[in-house]
Amino acid sequence: MNSSDKALVVLSGGQDSTTCLYWALQRFGADNVEAVTFDYGQRHRVELDSARTIAALAGVPHTVLPIDTFAAIGGNALTDASITPESGARADDDTALPNTFVPGRNLIFLNFAAAFGYTRGARHLVTGVAQTDYSGYPDCRENTLKALELALRLGLDARVELHTPLMYLSKADTVRLAQQVGAMEAMAFSHTCYNGEQPPCGHCAACELRAKGFAEAGVADPLVERFRQG
């Protein structure tokens, strides 16, 4: 096995990271892929179980790493129980970040992922961030990721590569990519709902965005179908 081909996928257990995991399997081969999930005190902790299930379905090694600092900082709806996640579509001219923005989350995740990958000989890091996401999180933008990639290369003295397959895809295009890479079976066990509900609440911003993507792609959401049939 060529260590230069080894990849580490940041797997939250959600729709996007599940798609990226199967994209990585297709790109790098099953023997070269691992997944890492971060337990950061998130409200929707059920996604940790989703990540474990999806990694098992994909047949890849999976590690959960604890990061409790975000919960200690608080101030956002994903780590502070006193704040309710926003719901409903945002206006096109609304430039304010939603209360589900966890400051620095993706920056921290990718730094830890790079360190973890370094010990595994994996220089390829795969993450499901997307600049086209409705929320406009600044740590999901391409210029942020390019700057971080350079910092990681310098700080680790290694040829780290950040892969962002979804960067400019719409949610509907992400659904189509999931179909292409064979992720739909695993998608039935993914979790997106910010409220941590199963079946998903259907009214938080994450649920609405996911539903819109599947509707625009003309594809039934395997997660919704699983609960409907169950």
| Binding site as annotated, residues for Zn(2+) | 193, 201, 204, 207
Known binding site: residues?
11-21, 193, 201, 204, 207
- How many angstroms separate the CA atoms of 129 and 156, rounded? 22
Q: What tokens does 113 get?
A: 């992922």
Known binding site for ATP: residues?
11-21
Distances from the Cα of 6 to the Cα of 23, 56, 139, angstroms: 14, 18, 24
Distances from the Cα of 53 to the Cα of 40, 50, 61, 63, 180, angstroms: 19, 5, 11, 12, 21
- How many angstroms separate the CA atoms of 214 and 145, rounded? 27
